[in-house]
């Protein structure tokens, strides 16, 4: 290591910043996050530094740097564009054994300021030893996007219980096991869901050993339309910590590649008239697995609450007092239309949009056709490929123009994404004469005309 990573306590301790420009302002703000007592010395100061002084957050001395200024400081930052002055500050600080940082001059520093991910009291520092600060910031950005803000609350909760856990478990391995279970189980999930009070009760219960028959938890997670980059951060976190994954046929292979490698995978996919596991069986399986103390992810294509039967599943969980949470996903209508260059609403073409399932629970397609066959509206049909002829006939019979534009989006957002465009009258002919495979979404409306102009994802595969 070029630098030994260390965290220093500067709470209410004197720190000196030499320089009053924008760079000094950024460094001052970092030090303020650690509640330092800051003196800024500079003949001139920027508006940001002036505002901090006006709010009595720092002390500003409007003059040049003097040798005596280093006295009694616990940390010094030099942020000027004067190389001679920066060298002088560095030499004086090092001679007094005071940690010093000179901005953009690693050779003059006894410490460097890393890129920081702040989830206080959890703090992560990333450093490139001054060789590639932009790369360090990029790494920080990746960590920022994958570490929930609530980790700080989780750490604070753990701190409140640290002494109790230490008193109960003499063996360090037992303590480690207890905390690993807490940090990867329902206690952590309740903190992430904003239920800190409930998490505290559960953690106390675990510590009191009253949860020998601990119930697990179920996550209903929307896997989106296929592209794994469309998963939410929360969805990714939960599918990677679940012990069991119940997944359906609409979850793409790319999304399945992201699940935990040692998780048990149970396929519960459904096709029209072919259900590998009946819905009632899935509902009960979720209950049974949770009662075994397992973390269960019900991973669905699209969104669990948009034609995903999520409501039916959580009804059963609620009846059996099984903890659960639901994570929305990008539904197929939004994902497929966006990747096809077809806006679902547009001021010139469509002022409303309706999502419609292609077949009801009893297998029929008994829909309110009069409400659907109107102008200035976009209709998105889910699971309607086999019923394409029927929906074409009914919409035309109820007054919709036979020339109304229609798009069929096949395997939307995936590498096999393909869009077929036609008219309402020609829709049955297209389905009968082209090889179109599920999952396919049917979009009906004037907005389909915009595809030629707005298509961006598969410009070379228009049909």
What is the three-class DSSP state of 387? coil
Confirm if 168 and 207 have CB atoms less than 8 A apart: yes
Whether 195 sits among the annotated catalytic residues: the reply is no
Confirm if 304 and 220 have CB atoms less than 8 A apart: yes
Whether 361 sits among the annotated catalytic residues: the reply is no
Distance CA 437, CA 272 (A): 13
Confirm if 41 and 14 have CB atoms less than 8 A apart: no
User: Could you tell me which residues are annotated as the binding site for S-adenosyl-L-methionine?
Assistant: 225, 301-303, 306, 331-332, 383, 412
**DSSP 8-state symbol, 457:** S
Number of Cβ within a 10 Å radius of residue 167: 9
Write the pLDDT tens digit of every residue in 357-378. 986 555 567 899 999 999 999 9
Question: Which one of 153, 227, 248, 411 is the catalytic residue?
Answer: 248
Per residue of the chain (463 residues), what is the pLDDT tens digit?
888 889 999 999 999 999 999 999 999 999 999 999 999 999 999 999 999 999 999 999 999 999 999 999 999 999 999 999 999 999 999 999 999 999 989 899 999 888 899 999 999 999 988 888 899 999 999 888 888 889 999 999 999 999 999 998 888 878 887 887 788 778 888 898 899 999 999 899 888 864 445 678 899 999 999 999 999 988 998 998 888 999 998 999 999 999 988 899 999 986 655 556 889 999 999 999 999 888 899 999 999 999 988 999 999 999 999 989 999 999 999 999 999 999 999 999 999 999 999 865 555 678 999 999 999 999 999 999 999 999 999 999 999 999 999 999 999 999 999 999 999 999 999 999 999 988 899 999 999 999 999 998 875 554 4
User: Could you tell me which residues are annotated as the binding site?
Assistant: 22-23, 43-44, 225, 301-303, 306, 331-332, 383, 412
Q: What domains lie within the chain, and their CATH numbers? A: 1-113 (3.40.50.720), 215-330 (3.40.1010.10), 333-461 (3.30.950.10)
Distance CA 161, CA 166 (A): 9
User: Could you tell me which residues are annotated as the binding site for NAD(+)?
Assistant: 22-23, 43-44
Number of Cβ within a 10 Å radius of residue 290: 22
Question: Which one of 270, 291, 386, 449 is the catalytic residue?
Answer: 270
């Amino acid at each position: 290591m070029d630098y030994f990573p260390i965290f220093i306590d500067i709470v209410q301790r004197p720190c000196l910043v030499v320089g009053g420009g924008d760079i000094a302002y950024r460094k001052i703000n970092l030090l303020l996050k650690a509640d330092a007592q800051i003196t800024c010395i500079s003949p001139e100061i920027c508006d940001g530094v002036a505002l901090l002084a006006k709010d009595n957050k720092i002390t500003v001395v409007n003059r040049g740097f003097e040798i005596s200024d280093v006295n009694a400081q616990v940390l010094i930052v030099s942020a000027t564009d004067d190389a001679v002055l920066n060298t002088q500050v560095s030499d004086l600080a090092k001679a007094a054994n005071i940690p010093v940082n000179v901005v953009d001059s690693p050779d003059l520093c006894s410490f460097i300021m890393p890129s920081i991910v702040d989830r206080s009291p959890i703090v992560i520092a990333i450093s490139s030893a001054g060789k590639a600060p932009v790369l360090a910031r990029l790494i920080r950005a990746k960590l920022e996007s994958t570490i929930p803000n609530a980790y700080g609350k989780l750490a604070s909760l753990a701190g409140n219980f640290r002494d109790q856990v230490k008193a109960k478990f003499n063996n360090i391995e037992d303590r480690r096991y207890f905390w690993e279970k807490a940090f990867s189980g329902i206690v952590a999930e309740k903190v992430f869901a904003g239920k800190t009070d409930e998490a505290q009760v559960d953690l106390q219960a675990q510590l009191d050993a009253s949860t020998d028959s601990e119930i697990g938890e179920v996550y209903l997670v929307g896997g989106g339309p296929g592209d794994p980059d469309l998963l939410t951060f929360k969805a990714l976190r939960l599918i990677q910590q679940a012990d069991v994954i119940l997944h359906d046929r609409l979850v793409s292979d790319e999304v399945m590649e992201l699940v935990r490698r040692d998780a048990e995978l149970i396929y519960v996919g459904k096709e029209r008239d072919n259900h590998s596991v009946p819905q009632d069986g899935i509902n009960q399986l979720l209950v049974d697995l949770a009662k075994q103390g397992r973390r269960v992810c019900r991973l669905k294509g699209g969104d669990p609450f948009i034609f995903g039967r999520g409501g039916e599943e959580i009804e059963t969980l609620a009846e059996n007092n099984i903890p659960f949470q639901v994570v929305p996903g990008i539904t197929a209508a939004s994902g497929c239309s966006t990747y096809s260059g077809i806006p679902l609403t547009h001021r010139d073409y469509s002022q409303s949009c309706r999502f419609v399932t292609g077949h009801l629970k009893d297998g029929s397609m008994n829909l309110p056709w009069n409400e659907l066959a109107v102008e200035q509206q976009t209709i998105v049909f889910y699971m309607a490929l086999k019923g394409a002829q029927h929906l074409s006939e009914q919409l035309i019979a109820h007054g919709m123009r036979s020339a109304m534009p229609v798009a069929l989006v096949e395997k939307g957002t995936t590498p096999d994404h393909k869009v077929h465009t036609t008219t309402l009258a020609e829709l049955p002919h297209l389905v009968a004469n082209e090889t179109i495979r599920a999952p396919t979404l049917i979009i009906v409306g004037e907005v389909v005309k915009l595809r030629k102009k707005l298509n961006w994802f598969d410009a070379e595969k228009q049909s």
